[in-house]
């Protein structure tokens, strides 16, 4: 009998344990600990320079920690390697699209990198979800920021990642596209994805998030639940922590 195929690596939680990252003498993150669970939409707030992008980069395995560890399920990221990266989707603030390619070509190229079957079909479905089917064969360099944002999000989700990391995903989106993104995020939660999104657009995520984390000077805290609007709770937490209420 032929050997049974090895099931793909999967996990239902991500655990950061006393995670730190230093750049020379500057501490971008200091002893950050938290657990993210499947089905959760978790917001990551904080002033500019608080360490949000650094934390996302660490969880995406693009940056190595100076101290501490990250577990994906029960496996350290350093041991999971390529198997783990196949389960990650990361949308950075720099969208990393190829302007000299069309929208369709960008998605098909990404599908090829992930070794996905039916790259053309997946790309077509993603373009439909992004509302860009009518611009499928136009060069991305002619797209607005909002259009590129929608395309980059679908590229991030093309391979059905378990962990979805988003850095300012609402940037450049109009009201209609923002509502569509919120609905897309809710669907990811229902599909038991683990979603962590950094944002300054608090109105866009009002009522959307299951939990809210806040970074200030590299240290992490969880924003308490309450009936007050998210912006008020965020400003109160920043004031209590002694930081200016940026964002």
Tokens of residue 174, six digits:
């109009």
Q: What is the pTM assigned to this prediction? A: 0.91
Phi-psi region of 31 (alpha: psi -120 to 50; beta: other; left: phi over 0): left
- Read off the pLDDT of residues 149-173 as tens digits, 9 standing for 90 and up: 999 999 999 999 999 999 999 998 9
Distance between start and end Cα atoms, the chain = 60
Chain segment 114-161, per-residue pLDDT in tens: 999 999 999 999 999 999 999 999 999 999 999 999 999 999 999 999
pLDDT digits (tens, 9 = 90+) for 1-10: 444 444 578 9
Burial class (CB in 10 A: 0-12, 13-18, 19+), 52: buried
User: Token pair 């657990």 is at which residue?
Assistant: 35
Q: At what angle do helices 145-157 and 103-113 cross, to 10 degrees?
A: 20
Could you give all domains of the chain from N- to C-terminal order, each with its CATH number? 12-87+194-247 (3.40.50.300)
What is the model's pLDDT at position 242?
Answer: 60
The b-or-e profile of 210-236 (16+ CB within 10 A means b, else e) is ebbbbbbbbbbeebeeeeeebeebbbe
Please check whether residue 202 is in contact with residue 209, taking contact to mean a CB–CB distance below 8 angstroms: no
How many angstroms separate the CA atoms of 37 and 200, rounded?
22
């Amino acid at each position: 009998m032929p050997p049974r195929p090895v099931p793909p690596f999967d996990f239902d939680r991500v655990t950061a344990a006393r995670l730190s990252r230093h750049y020379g003498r500057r501490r971008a993150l200091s002893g950050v600990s938290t657990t993210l669970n499947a089905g959760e939409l978790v917001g990551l707030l904080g002033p500019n320079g608080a360490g949000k992008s650094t934390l996302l980069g660490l969880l995406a395995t693009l940056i190595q920690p100076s101290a501490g560890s990250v577990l994906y399920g029960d496996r350290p990221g350093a041991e999971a390697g390529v198997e783990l990266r196949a389960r990650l989707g990361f949308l950075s603030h720099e969208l990393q699209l190829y302007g000299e390619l069309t929208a369709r070509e960008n998605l098909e190229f990404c599908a090829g990198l992930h070794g996905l079957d039916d790259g053309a079909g997946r790309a077509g479905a993603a373009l439909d979800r992004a509302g860009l089917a009518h611009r499928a064969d136009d060069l991305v360099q002619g797209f607005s920021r909002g259009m590129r944002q929608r395309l980059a999000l679908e590229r991030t989700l093309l391979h059905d990642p378990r962990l979805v990391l988003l850095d300012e995903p609402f940037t450049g989106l109009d009201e209609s596209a923002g509502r569509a993104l919120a609905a897309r995020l809710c669907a990811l939660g229902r599909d038991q994805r683990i979603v962590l999104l950094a944002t300054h657009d608090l109105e866009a995520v009002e009522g959307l998030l299951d939990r809210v984390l806040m970074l200030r000077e590299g240290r992490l805290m969880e924003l308490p639940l309450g009936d007050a609007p998210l912006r008020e709770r965020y400003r109160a937490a920043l004031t209590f922590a002694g930081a200016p209420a940026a964002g």
